[in-house]
Every structure is written in C-alpha cells, then in structure tokens.
C-alpha cells in the first residue's frame, strides 16, 4: 500500500496548502491511505468538527492529535462521533475518544492508526510504551491489520527513537510529530519499520514553529506575554512522509520525505514520480 503522512497542519495557511495539494497527490501518487496530524489546524490550537470533516472530504483517512487535542472545547464532544479522529492513547482512563482506530484504506486494506504522546518534557501522561504494546498485541500486523501506523507526538527524539526500535518489525511506521521541524533521519529500520524523528509541520515556515514571530520573541526576551499567539499566514510548506508497504508482510519497502511549496528545499518521492 502507498501511504502519505501529513505533518502537523498549522492554522489557515496549513489548511490552505493541504486543500490545494492533497487531492492532486492522491491522484498522481495513487495513494491508498492518507493520515494527517490536525491538532494545530484551528487557529494553531486544536481542531473543530468542521475542519475535521473538511480533511475527510479532501481524502484524508485518519486524523491524529496531540497535546492540543482539547484546545477547541467542542472536540471533547464531537470526537465521540468522529471515528477517524484519534487522540493520544495514553491519555488518562475515561478521556473522551479513542487512541487507536482500524480504518479502511482506499484499496480496502485494514490500517491500524495509533496516536501516542511522549512524557519527556511534556505533560505527565500514562506510559505510551505499555499502551502501544497492548494495542499491537491485540491487533497484530498481518493478522489484525494490513498495516500499523503510529504517530508519536513528543519533544524528545530519544523517546521517539526508543519506541521505534522497540516495535521495529511489528508495525509499519513510527512517525514523530510535535516539534514542527522536519528531521533528516527518515529511513527503514533493520526489521522493516519506517521511522522519522519529526515529519515537520504543514504551515508557514517564516514563523516560530508556525506562529507569528513577534510574540514568541517577546516572551523569550522579556519573559512577559503581551498578546496571544497567532498562526503565521504566509505561503505554507506541505510537509509529510511518503512510504510504501509490502502486501505480504505489512512492512515498509521504501520511504521518502515530502516538502512542497514555501521556503524549504523541495522534496518528493522519486519512486512514485
């Protein structure tokens, strides 16, 4: 199967580049499954039901979240009727929504999508390693799902790498999100799992992690907030990870970075061009 994971979509600029780019990529690259991190999609903080539905209408098959999952309070309610919206699996027991979902790919394949949140330099949560172990044991690759994709939302590259090596050969891909800066370490690990420490953001890179620059700079320099953070609205870069799984094993054969538009060096998967 052919997959595209779209990195953290930030604000209106990020949504606009997804709207302009994604339908064409699905057609041109014959994508079977598109997963998108949408936790910053609504004004840079959280997601609304309307935005979630817009992503599905564009061809997104699953939307993952992270530490901003509940910044839009309506998400606490509509997530219960949004089966393809996935919040971190290691939120406390009783949290609304789901941390894993078995979704149907465009070719009919069964894709288990998990979202987990790191604990290093983040709000304290339940153990993400144990939560993921329970889920992939209950729905193992090839028996319960044709592919398993984990969005690991966290600050520490070491924590993301540790998870990837722990599950290498048992899931299709572990994709780091949250820091909004794409890393160059995308690769297929020794036992067949694709990994990248951070896929990067889909948003305006003439910014500070997607926000207009003045307020973050002021807070670093003066240590005093003067206004709220506002998402940057300039030309956005569409950032993602493209990869292809083997139908027999569910593991990854090849992987490539995707960067389209904006100021970053452009990148496309040559094996699909």
Query: Average pLDDT in the 171-182 region?
Result: 97
Banded pLDDT at 51 (limits 50, 70, 90): very high
> What local confidence, expressed as pLDDT, does residue 261 receive?
97
> What local confidence, expressed as pLDDT, does residue 260 receive?
98
E strand or H helix at 131, and its extent?
A: helix 128-138
**Does residue 264 carry a pLDDT above 90?**
yes
The pair of three-digit structure tokens given for residue 138, joined into one six-digit string:
């209950």
Residue 5's CB is within 10 A of a number of other CB atoms, namely 26
> What local confidence, expressed as pLDDT, does residue 273 receive?
84
Give the separation between CA 40 and CA 54, rounded to whole angstroms: 14
Query: Average pLDDT in the 24-32 region?
Result: 98
> What local confidence, expressed as pLDDT, does residue 225 receive?
86
Banded pLDDT at 149 (limits 50, 70, 90): very high
Tallying the residues shown for the chain, one arrives at: 273
**Does residue 226 carry a pLDDT above 90?**
no
**Does residue 106 carry a pLDDT above 90?**
yes
* Domain 2-272: CATH architecture, name and number where available: 4-Layer Sandwich (3.60)
Mean residue pLDDT across the chain: 96
> What local confidence, expressed as pLDDT, does residue 219 receive?
93
Query: Average pLDDT in the 205-216 region?
Result: 94
Residue 191's CB is within 10 A of a number of other CB atoms, namely 11
Q: What strands lie across the sheet with 85-86, from one edge to the other?
A: 85-86, 62-64, 33-37, 2-6, 238-245, 252-260
**Does residue 132 carry a pLDDT above 90?**
yes
> What local confidence, expressed as pLDDT, does residue 224 receive?
87
Query: Average pLDDT in the 56-64 region?
Result: 98
Percent of the chain whose pLDDT exceeds 90: 97
**Does residue 69 carry a pLDDT above 90?**
yes
Query: Average pLDDT in the 167-174 region?
Result: 98
**Does residue 227 carry a pLDDT above 90?**
no
How distant, in Å, are the alpha carbons of 5, 35, 110, 147 from that of 22? 11, 11, 21, 21
> What local confidence, expressed as pLDDT, does residue 87 receive?
98
Query: Average pLDDT in the 19-39 region?
Result: 98
Q: Which residues are catalytic?
A: 68
The pair of three-digit structure tokens given for residue 30, joined into one six-digit string:
């014959």
Query: What residues does each domain of the chain span?
Result: 2-272
- Angle (CA) 182-187-193 rounded to 5° is 115
Banded pLDDT at 195 (limits 50, 70, 90): very high
Give the separation between CA 3 and CA 40, rounded to whole angstroms: 22
Give the separation between CA 97 and CA 119, rounded to whole angstroms: 20
> What local confidence, expressed as pLDDT, does residue 186 receive?
98
The strand pairing partners of 238, in sequence order, are 260
């Amino acid at each position: 199967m052919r997959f595209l994971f779209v990195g953290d979509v930030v604000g209106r600029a990020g949504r606009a580049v997804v709207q302009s780019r994604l339908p064409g990529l699905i057609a041109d690259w014959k994508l079977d499954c598109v997963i998108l991190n949408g936790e910053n999609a609504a004004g840079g903080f959280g997601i609304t039901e309307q935005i979630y539905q817009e992503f599905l209408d564009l061809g997104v098959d699953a939307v993952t979240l992270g530490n901003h999952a509940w910044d839009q309070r309506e998400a606490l309610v509509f997530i219960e009727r949004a089966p393809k919206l996935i919040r971190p699996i290691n939120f406390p027991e009783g949290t609304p929504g789901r941390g894993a979902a078995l979704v149907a790919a465009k070719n009919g394949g069964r894709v288990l999508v998990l979202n987990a949140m790191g604990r290093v330099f983040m709000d304290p949560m339940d153990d993400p390693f144990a939560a993921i172990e329970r889920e992939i044991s209950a729905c193992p690759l090839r028996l319960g799902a044709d592919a398993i994709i984990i969005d690991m939302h966290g600050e520490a590259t070491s924590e993301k790498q540790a998870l990837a090596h722990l599950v290498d050969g048992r899931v299709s891909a572990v994709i780091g999100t949250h820091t909004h800066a794409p890393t160059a370490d995308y690769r297929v690990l020794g036992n067949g799992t694709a990994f990248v420490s951070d896929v990067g953001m889909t948003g305006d890179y003439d910014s500070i992690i997607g926000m207009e620059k003045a307020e973050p700079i002021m807070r670093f320099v003066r240590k005093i907030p003067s206004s709220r953070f506002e998402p940057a609205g300039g030309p956005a870069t569409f950032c993602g990870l493209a990869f292809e799984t083997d139908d027999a094993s569910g593991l990854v054969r090849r992987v490539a970075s995707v960067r389209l538009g904006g100021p970053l060096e452009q990148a496309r998967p040559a094996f699909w061009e």
